[in-house]
Amino acid sequence: MTVMEIRKYGDPVLKKKCEEVLEVTEEVKRFCRDLVETMKENKGLGLAASQVGVLKRIIAVQTGQGPIIFINPKIYEKSKEVVVMEEGCLSFPKIYLKIKRPKSVKAEALDGSGKKIEISAEGLMARVIQHEVDHLDGILIADKVGLLKKLKIKKQKVH
């Protein structure tokens, strides 16, 4: 297994939209294993393919039962209730931002072997899934906060 390099804020690949995976081939499965390995190595709660420069709709999420892979994840239901939590991102080292998101979500995806799965998540797990799915659409935590905070992030990046 290979630990890949995590792309950091400012890398244009992070702003790109990822493409659907049409077939879960051996190559895709191998990439999924590397994605999990990279997430574990960096002690992340989640990691999206675009964060390692691969523009495919694949995310890895760390759960209490171990890591799972979601291929082509689609969030089809979000709770009306929203919660604010501090969020970090492996692409924004040492930066934590308070972000408002729906408390729970329902999603569907393919697992690492290509089998269709249904996900019902709340709390931290719901948050991680939303954060990672945002990555697949090129949306970063910095896009979720106001301009002032964004300028502060840029400043921290320079120094």
List the beta bridge partners of residue 59.
48, 70
Site size with Zn ion, rule: CB under 5 A? 1
Least Å distance, CB 146 to Zn ion, is 19
- CB of 58 closer than 8 Å to CB of 48: yes
Burial 55-72 (b: 16+ CB within 10 A, else e): ebbbbbbbeeeebbbbbb
128 binds Zn ion (CB under 5 A): no
The dihedrals phi and psi of 28, each to the nearest 5 degrees, come to: -65, -45
Active site residue 132: yes
Q: CB-wise, 71 or 89, nearer to Zn ion?
A: 89
Distance in Å, CB of 131 to Zn ion, minimum? 5
Q: Taking CB positions, which residue lies at the least distance from Zn ion?
A: 89
Q: Give the integer Cα–Cα distance in Å for 127 and 133.
A: 10
Which residues 68-107 are close enough to bind Zn ion by CB under 5 A? Answer: 89
The contact set with Zn ion (CB under 5 A) reads: 89
Which residues form the catalytic set?
132
